Amino acid sequence: MFAHWRRLVAGLLVGLFAAALTFNIDAVERLSSSQLIGALQFFGRVLLVPGVLLSMAISRDMHHFPLWLAALGNLAFWIAAARFVGMLLNRLREMKRYAAWQPPVYVPEGPRMIEAAAITGLQDECIKRWHASSGSTAGREENEWLDAVERQHRANFDLWHIEDEARAPGATDTEVARVKRRVDETNQRRNDLTEELDQILVAWLEERGLPRASAPLNSESPGLIIDRLSILALKIFHTCEEAAREDAPAGHAERNRERLAILEEQRADLAGCLDALWYETLAGTRRFKMYRQLKMYNDPSLNPAIYGKVSNIRGA
């Protein structure tokens, strides 16, 4: 309603100005020819044209037409023009909104599956528990999702410490080779469990008609983000240990406190991205796909270092 009156007032003002100029048409024609005055003169003529043409048409006289009729015609014309332009702009805005509009997605009440704070809290708690005890994962039969998150996190935990064995001073070539095989096996398990996270989420979403196929595609899936959060949790834990070391050289603690601040900021940013991706997926404004890692190094049929060696042995 306000927009309607605003257009009406704008048209009225332009129309009154045009009507006033109509009664002073001779003065408009006598203006000097400087660029500024010339522009104003041209603008004034444009404002006068509709009413003048109307008055000429009605009076059938191109030289002696009634000014009052021309003024009235200009007033009516510019009010109508302002309303028309306003309606056109409104129509264009409506078309733009309609092109971007998507029907709302109904998400039933209940668990939302992903809450970044719960995931990072679980990862921190698991690291402390596993360092205090060499036991395996707790097993969460009541919650398939958190159980999968914990198992994936355990693969990263194991991988972290297996790789440390290969870096130990004095490790023999045989020990390093043995550790390398364990690294490959554990990394394969880590990637398989990361894919399992996405499989669980995709199945949960499909039951609710999501993700929306027309939504923009995110380059990273939640499972891959959770994997990165897992690694950051391990970095934060071990950096805290280094910052608290009493036998460390001078400056060691301060350097690790600086590293810790960076790691915590990175984790907070990444956790926010995970929440945002999940909320947007539920709202139908973003989607993700499950990307298969398709690792080749552990597959005897795809790694030439394996099948080539086997062929050579058989041919010997």
Does residue 118 lie in a domain region?
A: no
Q: What domain count does the chain have?
A: 2
Residue with tokens 């469990």, as numbered in its chain: 193
Does residue 109 lie in a domain region?
A: no
Does residue 188 lie in a domain region?
A: yes
Does residue 105 lie in a domain region?
A: no
Does residue 142 lie in a domain region?
A: yes
Verify that 174 and 70 share a domain, yes or no.
no
Verify that 12 and 157 share a domain, yes or no.
no
Q: What pLDDT is stored for residue 107 in this prediction?
A: 47
Verify that 279 and 154 share a domain, yes or no.
yes
Across the chain, mean pLDDT equals 80
The pLDDT tens digits of the residues spanning 129-142 come to 999 986 666 566 67
Verify that 144 and 282 share a domain, yes or no.
yes
Nearest of 115, 121, 157 to residue 275 by alpha carbon: 115
Domain final residue pick, 100, 117, 135: 100
Nearest of 163, 171, 11 to residue 87 by alpha carbon: 11
171 compared with 27, residue with greater pLDDT: 171
- Using CA atoms, how far apart are residues 176 and 96, in angstroms rounded to an integer? 62
Does residue 107 lie in a domain region?
A: no
Verify that 142 and 231 share a domain, yes or no.
yes
Nearest of 144, 305, 123, 146 to residue 231 by alpha carbon: 123
Per-residue pLDDT at 35 exceeds 50: no
Verify that 26 and 156 share a domain, yes or no.
no
Domain interval for residue 11: 2-100
The pLDDT tens digits of the residues spanning 76-134 come to 876 787 778 778 877 877 777 666 655 554 444 445 688 999 999 999 999 999 999 86
Residue with tokens 């001073």, as numbered in its chain: 169
Verify that 139 and 219 share a domain, yes or no.
yes
Domain final residue pick, 85, 100, 115: 100
Verify that 139 and 282 share a domain, yes or no.
yes
Verify that 265 and 142 share a domain, yes or no.
yes
Verify that 92 and 175 share a domain, yes or no.
no
Does residue 117 lie in a domain region?
A: no
The pLDDT tens digits of the residues spanning 233-290 come to 999 999 999 999 889 889 999 999 999 999 999 999 999 999 999 999 999 999 999 8
pTM for the structure as a whole = 0.62
Verify that 163 and 68 share a domain, yes or no.
no
Verify that 186 and 306 share a domain, yes or no.
yes
Q: What pLDDT is stored for residue 85 in this prediction?
A: 77
Q: What percent of the chain lies above the pLDDT cut of 90?
A: 43
Does residue 113 lie in a domain region?
A: no
Q: What pLDDT is stored for residue 297 in this prediction?
A: 61
Domain final residue pick, 100, 116, 134: 100
**CA atoms within 13 Å, Cβ hemisphere of 132:** 6
Alpha helix segments (H runs only) across the chain: 2-23, 25-29, 35-59, 67-100, 116-132, 144-167, 173-206, 222-243, 252-283, 304-315
